[in-house]
Structure 1
């Protein structure tokens, strides 16, 4: 008796039911997990996400300064290595100071000469005042002599009239009177000359004082030029991109290097215009630097730029010509990093960061204050419209 092999079971038979039930259980679990994820994300958005605005179009920035020479000469010494930190007022390099030292010495000599000339004129003025006093005394003496001579002349003339005096006595008295009068005029002229000389000396003294002031200004200028041979850091930071070496020739405006104030770094974040409605100065910010993604920094919104980045670009586009394609603009926002967080990491300008602003924080005022009402500029129909809206008597239909 020959046995025949079992025929294959047709699809849909009871043997396939266990597999179908297992697939349903897996799909159910996946659906539950999906609903849990959606619920969690929805809850997180409702409690957190809708109050936070995030952007990855943000970078560390600093108000760096390009140091330039202010004197002409050859670099004699460099005291700071490339990419080295410097303190405020620290000398970075020195220009050969010999020419400026000679100029300072010459300015000092010029000042000494001007001061000597001033002292000489002051002495001459003192002598001139004494000369005036002497001339005044001489005038007083000649006036007294003239008074005596005039009295003697009148007496001699009276005696000659009464035939008591002689003609010779009258002539002698007349000559003495005329001589005394001439001496008075000479004394007056000497006094006027002494006063004129004193006026000239005073004018020369004023001019000498101006020369002293000019010499002092030149001395200060020479000292300032000598001080500029020492190139100093205007603030603390890191000197980078150094452009000089010992022996380099520099002139006013020659580039020395770039000083980066790493202690005053801030974040420049570019938010979409649809995100800035709730961003206000003083808002709390969380910052993550791409170089240290596990480090969370904190900051505060300082200000919003008064315009989008496109407005301040070198060649702003004009949408008034040709076809128009609307592009979402971005508004730069300046964010200050907290001091304790800024000093924790070796942050450098240009690093990419991701910022998240909590719109529930910040100053309690709108982004742009509403303009004050000006009744004088109200439209003519404004009063009638207000009356209609308020339902004033006689204004309803």
Structure 2
């Protein structure tokens, strides 16, 4: 028996109203099924078109955060904190005073260094004067040598005729020898004096230069008792308090330069195949929502993943290895005007969308 015969028998067995209702339900189910398939096909076609036309040209992540190059404020000299004219969250400008240390020790050291410099200058001037004195002595000794030589020659001529005694000739000879020896001694003394001052002057003498450098170091230490802001930004993590004795390198506070913030977007490694520097980025901050849009540029990719630089790096050479998709930080520079219009804070969450094609 055929299916048509079975349907005919079923129709014959049912009242006409029930048969019509059954056929209507079948037609409805068929139309719903066809409609569902058409919707699925349309959705698939739409998604495929979107992916090839739009989605494949972008990579996006919400694992992105605002960061900045923090300025750590530390003293360069040891001392006692006298004044802290700033507070946490306060905006400071470059060059503004942050902390003042006690100047008493530095001022005493400066007075001592200036006295040492003056003493060194006097010693060097005295050495130059000694050189001139020895040169004058050499001229006098040369005159003595000339005089005694003439006297010796005259007596030697007179001695041939017997007009001069032997004692007078011996005395003249000794006088000439003494004058010559005195001249040699003066020349040796000049050489010794020149070793200390030759090739320089009072201003550039090594001893004076060393004393001046020591004075300048004390002046620098005195200037460093006033700690100023190296960059403009907002004060954070302030720990300095008046009366506190601080050592060199102690952490006093941090300055967050909010005008120079950037974003680190942590993309999955599979998303980075076509990412490179210079690409345009669109960003949204959770604090402002979708209404505020930031624009940026990819500056570079991190040198390693967070797992590689963690305190305890993953040991992937173990027997119980499980693959975990890694993320690599991508540094994104923000438009300064947009940041000034809608300021950001370090650590805020962002959504970053990189345009892969120019």
TM-score range, shorter chain: 0.7 to 0.9
Change in CA separation of 1:174 and 1:318 when aligned onto 2, cut-off 3 Å: same
Change in CA separation of 1:24 and 1:149 when aligned onto 2, cut-off 3 Å: same
Deviations 1:168-206 (A, max 9, x none): x4xx34333222211111001111221232233334547
> How many angstroms apart in 1 are the aligned matches of 2:26 and 2:91?
71
- Quote the offset at 1:32 in angstroms: 6.0
Q: What is the aligned length? A: 339
Query: Does 2:325 align with 1:325?
Result: no
Match of 1:100 in 2: 106
Q: For 1:181-220, list aligned pairs within 5 A.
A: 181-205=173-197, 209-220=205-216
- Quote the offset at 1:48 in angstroms: 1.0
Among 279, 292, 307, the alignment partner of 1:310 is 307
Match of 1:392 in 2: none
Q: For 1:1-397, list aligned pairs within 5 A.
A: 12=18, 14=20, 36-156=42-162, 169=163, 172-205=164-197, 209-293=205-289, 294-361=291-358
> How many angstroms apart in 1 are the aligned matches of 2:321 and 2:32?
51
Partner secondary structure for residue 278 of structure 1: coil
> How many angstroms apart in 1 are the aligned matches of 2:354 and 2:19?
61
> How many angstroms apart in 2 are the aligned matches of 1:31 and 1:317?
48
Deviations 1:234-281 (A, max 9, x none): 122211111012222212122210111212211111111111110011
Structure 2 spans left out of the alignment, 5+ residues? 1-14
> How many angstroms apart in 1 are the aligned matches of 2:303 and 2:249?
32
Partner secondary structure for residue 146 of structure 1: helix
For the 8 Å contact 2:69–2:256, the answer to whether it is kept is: yes
For the 8 Å contact 2:130–2:193, the answer to whether it is kept is: yes
- Quote the offset at 1:103 in angstroms: 0.9
Structure 1 spans left out of the alignment, 5+ residues? 1-8, 157-168, 362-397
> How many angstroms apart in 1 are the aligned matches of 2:295 and 2:313?
34
- Quote the offset at 1:51 in angstroms: 1.2
Q: Tell me the TM-score normalised to structure 2 length.
A: 0.86
- Quote the offset at 1:226 in angstroms: 0.4
> How many angstroms apart in 1 are the aligned matches of 2:293 and 2:168?
115
Change in CA separation of 1:306 and 1:241 when aligned onto 2, cut-off 3 Å: closer
Q: Tell me the TM-score normalised to structure 1 length.
A: 0.78
> How many angstroms apart in 1 are the aligned matches of 2:119 and 2:262?
55
Partner secondary structure for residue 177 of structure 2: helix
For the 8 Å contact 2:269–2:326, the answer to whether it is kept is: yes
For the 8 Å contact 2:71–2:230, the answer to whether it is kept is: no
Partner secondary structure for residue 318 of structure 2: coil
Partner secondary structure for residue 181 of structure 2: helix
Change in CA separation of 1:135 and 1:98 when aligned onto 2, cut-off 3 Å: same
